[in-house]
Amino acid sequence: FNFIVGTLVVNFVLPLEFVTPAWRTFCGCIGFWAVGLASLALWAYLMHDWRYLTMATSLASIPLLFTWWFIPESPRWLINRGRLEEADQVLKSMAVCNKRPVPDFDRLKECMMNEKIRRQESKKYTYWHLFSSWKLTKGTLILMYSWFVSSSVYYGLNFNTKNLSGNRYLNVFISGLVEIPALILVVAVNNKIGRRKTVAMLMIIAGIFCLSILVVDLLEKSETMPVLILVLAMIGKSGIAGGWAAVQVFSAETFPTVVRNLGVGACSTFARIGGIVAPQLVFLVSFIYQVSCL
């Protein structure tokens, strides 16, 4: 049932449709993925049998089923689907919960009706609409490749943790913690310097430190080399984790609302392909260590 993991995309898109652009970066980086990875290392240390570990992580997901009755539907999605009354109820609930003025119903109704008419006149959207114009095609291809690279590097570094010096459980725990500073950095600078610059900066940092591992392995043969490689790998992991988070926010904002789930889902598919490639890169370590660094 691992294919159900694909629904994780909705978990990322939904919060972004409730907030203004200024808060999208924060919502995109607060998913506690890093904390989950660090916790997984602790669980694995306590449960050496993978069967018990799989059972424990599966049982931990059961409480999430009950959030169905507490999380409202996206008002953007409801409007795009023509479910105006439900969207109005969600917006009113949000206003009351946040102690804000309730939106003017007549004005909201007019906007909703215009959106409903536009929706009725439009056709059903498919993945082909991600390539309906040159601008959207270019953006889609770039984002797909960015997700692929982010995933292959991220999971490649994760899988390669067992080849680093020191205790493997401690290394995995540290690899989860080092993501937190990168996510904080994304929240701090994403709105100030822009999405593209943030993505480029963190991707370059990850690339430089991964290449540094190659240089150290070729030139340095001292007793401190394993520790130095461990430090470089963790900094590279931090960079790619932040870069991937920034790419996710950038993707959710780039695609129009009507194809946002489709766009992010398509990008996530390429990320899964990157996840398939990552173990093969780690497998190359057994033959040519430098190739995996490249």
Chain segment 144-158, per-residue pLDDT in tens: 999 999 998 988 888
pLDDT tier for residue 61 given thresholds of 50, 70 and 90: confident
Using CA atoms of 44, 47, 51, 52 in order, give the dihedral in degrees to the nearest 10.
Answer: -120
Q: What are the sequence ranges of the domains in the chain?
A: 2-47+131-293
Whether 221 shows a pLDDT value over 80: the answer reads no
Mean pLDDT of 75-93: 78
* Most trustworthy range by pLDDT among 80-89, 239-248, 255-264: 239-248
Mean pLDDT of 212-240: 82
Per CATH, the homologous superfamily of domain 2-47+131-293 is: MFS general substrate transporter like domains (1.20.1250.20)
pLDDT confidence of residue 143: 92
More confident residue, 251 or 223: 251
pLDDT tier for residue 260 given thresholds of 50, 70 and 90: confident
> What burial class does residue 87 get, using C-beta atoms within 10 Å of its C-beta: 0-12 exposed, 13-18 middle, 19+ buried?
buried
pLDDT confidence of residue 288: 59
210 sits in which H/E element: helix 195-219
Whether 112 shows a pLDDT value over 70: the answer reads no
* Most trustworthy range by pLDDT among 57-61, 192-196, 200-204, 246-250: 200-204
pTM over 0.85: no
User: What's the mean per-residue pLDDT of the chain?
Assistant: 81
* Cα–Cα distance, 119 to 102 (Å, whole number): 25
Tokens of 52: 């018990």
pLDDT tier for residue 203 given thresholds of 50, 70 and 90: very high
* Most trustworthy range by pLDDT among 31-40, 217-226, 244-253: 244-253
- Other Cβ atoms within 10 Å of 37 Cβ, number: 17
* Most trustworthy range by pLDDT among 9-13, 64-68, 175-179, 251-255: 175-179
